[in-house]
Amino acid sequence: MASDNIAGTTTKGLLGIFLFRGKVWQWFMYMGVGSVKGYGNVRAQTRMARSPIMTWVYSIIVWLVAFFLWDWLAS
């Protein structure tokens, strides 16, 4: 059966909430591969979209941007 968990990360609780934004980013990368030109670029984007390590990287980036945006708007 098909799975929407592209990267294959299995987490629950607070860690799952933390990684959710990275999974969404990877899902958009995986689904948006049709607009990428060239076989090598398609493979590279698909590889990044399926990497559990990149789930952590994307999640950290999104949360840092959200934190700094919140801090900037609050001041």
Q: What is the pLDDT of residues 24-71, one digit of tens each?
A: 888 888 887 777 788 888 888 888 888 888 889 999 999 999 999 999
Q: In this predicted model, which residue has the larger pLDDT, 32 or 17?
A: 17
| pLDDT, position 8 | 61
Checking if the pLDDT of 74 tops 80, the result is: yes
| pLDDT, position 59 | 93
Terminal C-alpha separation, the chain: 48
| pLDDT, position 2 | 52
Rounded-to-integer distance, Cα 11 and Cα 30, Å: 20
**Three-state secondary structure call for residue 38:** coil
Closest C-alpha among 51, 48, 46, 52 to residue 33: 46
